[in-house]
A and B are shown apart, each in its own frame.
Chain A
Amino acid sequence: MTATAPMRPAPPRRRPAERNVPEQETLRGRLRHLRYRASPQQVFAELFEKRWMEPAIPVAILAGVIVFFSIAAPGFASPANLLSTAAELAEMSLICLGMAVVMISGGIDLSVGAMFGLCNMVAILLITVAGVPVVPAILLTVVAGVALGGVNGVIVAYLKARPFLTTLVTLIIFRGVLNLLDLYFSAKTASVFVVDPVWEWFGTGKVAGLPFGFVTLLVVLVAGHVLLSRSRFGWHVTAVGASRRAARHAGIRVERVLLFSYVAAGALCAVAGVFYAARLSSASARVGEGLELNVLTAVILGGISLAGGKGTVWRAFIGAATISLLGKGLLLMDVGGEVLQTVLAVVLIVAVGLDTKWGKNRGKAIQKSYVNPTLLEYGPLEDIRPGSGSPFEINDRLRDAESIGLGEVEGPEDVIVDAEGRVYCGTRQGWILRFSGPGFATREVFARIGGHPLGMAFAANGDLVVCVGGMGLYAVSPDGKHRKLSDETDRTWTRLRDDSRLRMADDVDITPDGKIWFSEATTRFDMADWILDGVEGRPNGRLVCHDPATGRTRTVLRDLVFPNGICACHDGESLLIAQTWLCRILRYWHSGPNEGRLEIFMDNFPGYLDNINRASDGTYWVALNGMRSPAYDLAMRMPKFRRRMMKRIPRDEWLYPSMNHGCVAKVSEAGEVLETFWDPGGEKHATITSMREHDGFLYIGGLENNRVGRIRLT
Chain B
Amino acid sequence: MSATFLRRRTGVFAKVSQEQIVLVVVVALFVVFGVTLDGFLHVSNLVNLVRSVSSLGIFGVAMAVVVIARGMDLSLIASMGVATAVAIQLMHTQVSTPVALVAGLGIVLVMGLLNGFLIAFIEVPALFATLASGLLVYGLARATVLDGLIAELPGDRHFVLALGQGTLLGVPVPIILFVVTAVLAQIVLSRTKAGRFVYAHGDNASAAALTGIAVRPLTVLEYTASAAIGFVGGLVVAGSVGGLNTQVIDSTLIYDVLLVVVVGGISLVGGRGSVLSVVAGTALIGVMLNGMTILNMNTHEQDIVKGLILLAALVLDNRLHPRDEETVRQGE
Contacts and interface: CB of A to CB of B under 8 A. Distances in A.
| Chains A and B form a bound pair | yes
Interface of A: 103, 106, 108, 155, 159-162, 164-166, 168-170, 172-173, 175-177, 179-180, 183, 244-245, 248, 289-290, 293, 296, 306-308, 336, 338-346, 348-349, 352-353, 356-357, 360
Contacts of B329: 307
Contacts of A172: 252, 255, 303-304, 306-307, 310
Contact of A173 (B132, B140, B311): B311
A176 B307 contact: yes
A175 B303 CA distance: 9
A353 B135 CA distance: 16
B127 A164 contact: yes
23 contacts: A108-B330, A159-B318, A169-B307, A169-B314, A176-B301, A180-B298, A180-B301, A183-B300, A244-B327, A296-B131, A306-B125, A306-B331, A307-B329, A308-B330, A338-B138, A338-B142, A340-B139, A345-B132, A346-B132, A346-B136, A349-B118, A357-B123, A360-B123
Interface of B: 118, 122-125, 127-129, 131-136, 138-140, 142-143, 250, 252, 255, 258, 262, 268, 298-301, 303-304, 306-308, 310-311, 314-315, 318, 322, 325-332
Given A162-B318, A180-B301, A353 B124 contact: yes
B209 to A, nearest CB: 16
A177 B305 CA distance: 11
Contacts of B132: 345-346, 348-349, 352
A348 B125 CA distance: 12
Contacts of A338: 138-140, 142-143
A346 B118 CA distance: 12
A341 B135 contact: yes
B180 to A, nearest CB: 30
B135 A345 contact: yes
B268 A165 contact: yes
Contacts of B311: 155, 161, 166, 169-170, 173
Contact of B124 (A159, A296, A340, A349): A349
Nearest to B250: A290
A289 B250 CA distance: 9
A391 B219 CA distance: 66
Contacts of B129: 349, 352
Nearest to A244: B326
| B contacts with A: majority SS | helix
A348 B139 contact: no
Given A348-B131, A349-B136, 11 more contacts: A164-B332, A172-B303, A172-B304, A177-B304, A244-B325, A248-B326, A339-B143, A342-B140, A344-B135, A348-B132, A356-B124
Contacts of B133: 345, 349
A663 to B, nearest CB: 48
Contact of A159 (B128, B299, B315, B332): B315
Contacts of A164: 127, 331-332
B125 A356 contact: yes
B124 A342 contact: no
B143 A293 contact: no
Contacts of A177: 300, 304
Contact of B310 (A169, A296, A307): A169
Contacts of A106: 330
A166 B136 CA distance: 24
B199 to A, nearest CB: 21
Nearest to B128: A352
Contacts of A168: 255, 258
B110 to A, nearest CB: 15
A48 to B, nearest CB: 20
B140 to A, nearest CB: 5
Contacts of A176: 300-301, 303-304, 307
Contacts of B298: 180, 183
A173 B252 CA distance: 11
A348 B330 CA distance: 16
A170 to B, nearest CB: 7
A627 B127 CA distance: 56
Contacts of A360: 123
A352 B127 CA distance: 11
B127 A356 contact: no
Contacts of B332: 162, 164
A342 B314 contact: no
A630 B318 CA distance: 63
B139 A339 contact: yes
A341 B138 contact: yes
A339 B142 CA distance: 8
A348 B74 CA distance: 14
A563 B36 CA distance: 92
Contacts of B307: 169-170, 172-173, 176
B327 A245 contact: yes
B206 to A, nearest CB: 15
B300 A180 contact: yes
B250 to A, nearest CB: 7
Contacts of A296: 128, 131
A115 to B, nearest CB: 14
